[in-house]
């Protein structure tokens, strides 16, 4: 029960923070038999737990069996595409923000997903190979690592959302013209 309450509170806070960052109205609630249901929470949890998670596990196993190599490049690319799609949903669904230029959304989702993957690998490496905290604090040290991971992941998401909002005011074509013009002046 406490996990469900924590999930609902997290999604509600996420919706509020996303609407503040994007300066947009939060997504509305759906009314069902006199109850308000937050669409993002219902959509997100249903989609992930009923459809996406079993499909990811199924295709992960099938690809590993097909390639007989657990470090397959295709498997890594498919995992990154799944992360990219998750961040794309995370950036676009919780608010009613209408982006002027979707190029920036796709670009910042790309930056966010790549940053998240790099930090995930760094965090895993650090946890596996750094024994200082484990030797000092024993099994309690995992709490520090997990809380650090939550904060760093949250920071990556917030920076990605803020970058998406800041760049949305600029026309991508004009930015690239100025960017390419800068290099033409240098040569």
Give the tens place of pLDDT for each residue, 35-92.
Answer: 666 655 555 555 556 666 677 778 777 777 776 755 667 777 877 888 888 888 888 8
Same domain, 93 and 103: no
Domain-ending residue, one of 98, 128, 160: 98
DSSP 37: E
For residue 156, pLDDT beyond 80 = yes
Q: 182 or 21, which is more confident?
A: 21
Residue 25 shares a structural domain with residue 39: yes
Q: What is the largest CA-CA distance in the chain?
A: 67
User: Do 2 and 91 lie in a common domain?
Assistant: yes
Residue-wise pLDDT for 98-144, tens only, equals: 788 888 889 999 999 999 989 988 888 887 887 777 777 777 777 88
pTM value is 0.72
The Cα 161–Cα 73 span in angstroms is 28
Section 158-177 average pLDDT: 86
pLDDT of residue 62: 76
Same domain, 103 and 93: no
User: In degrees rounded to 5, what are phi and psi of residue 164?
Assistant: -60, -45
Same domain, 131 and 43: no
Of 82, 98, 114, the last residue of a domain is 98
Angstrom distance (rounded) from CA 178 to CA 173: 9
pLDDT at 176: 79
pLDDT at 175: 79
Which residues in the chain belong to E strands, given as ranges? 29-32, 35-38
- On whether both 107 and 62 belong to a single domain, the answer is no
Contact residues for 17 (Cβ-Cβ < 8 A; gap 6+): 158
| Enclosing domain of residue 166 | 99-187
Long-range contacts (CB closer than 8 Å, 24 or more residues apart) made by 147-153: 148/123, 149/123, 152/119, 152/123, 153/116, 153/119
Domain tally for the chain?
Answer: 2
End position of a domain, from candidates 98, 126, 153 = 98
Residue 26: predicted pLDDT: 76
Residues 37 and 107 in one domain: no
Collect all residues with Cβ–Cβ distance below 8 Å to 100 and sequence separation of at least 6: 168, 169
58 and 131 inside one domain: no
What does the alpha-carbon distance between residue 157 and residue 137 come to, in Å, rounded to a whole number? 30
For residues 111 and 81, what is the distance between their CA atoms, to the nearest angstrom?
A: 13
Q: How far is the C-alpha of 136 from the C-alpha of 150, rounded, in Å?
A: 22
Tell me, rounded to whole angstroms, the distance of Cα 124 from its chain centroid: 18
Cα radius of gyration rounded to whole Å, the chain: 20
pLDDT of residue 119: 92
Residues 18 and 83 in one domain: yes
Q: Which residue has the higher pLDDT, 63 or 177?
A: 177
Whether residue 105 sits in one domain with residue 93: no
CA–CA distance, 52 with 78 (Å, rounded to integer): 13
Q: Helix (H, G, I), strand (E, B), or coil: what is residue 144?
A: helix
* Residue 70 pLDDT: 58
pLDDT value of residue 159: 93
Q: 114 and 163 share a domain?
A: yes
If asked whether residues 14 and 85 sit together in one domain, one would say: yes
């Amino acid at each position: 029960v406490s996990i469900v309450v924590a999930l609902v509170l997290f999604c509600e806070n996420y919706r509020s923070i996303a609407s503040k960052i994007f300066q947009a109205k939060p997504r509305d609630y759906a009314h069902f038999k006199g109850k308000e249901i937050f669409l993002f929470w219902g959509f997100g949890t249903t989609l992930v737990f009923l459809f996406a998670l079993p499909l990811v596990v199924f295709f992960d196993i099938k690809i590993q069996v097909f390639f007989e190599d657990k470090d397959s490049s295709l498997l890594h690319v498919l995992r990154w595409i799944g992360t990219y799609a998750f961040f794309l949903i995370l950036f676009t669904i919780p608010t009613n923000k209408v982006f002027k230029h979707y190029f920036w959304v796709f670009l910042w989702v790309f930056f966010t997903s790549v940053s998240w993957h790099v930090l995930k690998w760094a965090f895993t490496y650090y946890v596996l190979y750094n024994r200082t905290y484990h030797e000092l604090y024993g099994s309690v040290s995992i709490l520090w690592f997990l809380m650090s991971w939550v904060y760093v992941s949250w920071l990556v998401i917030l920076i990605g959302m803020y970058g998406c909002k800041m760049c949305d005011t600029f026309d991508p074509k004009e930015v690239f013209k100025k960017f390419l013009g800068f290099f033409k002046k240098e040569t």
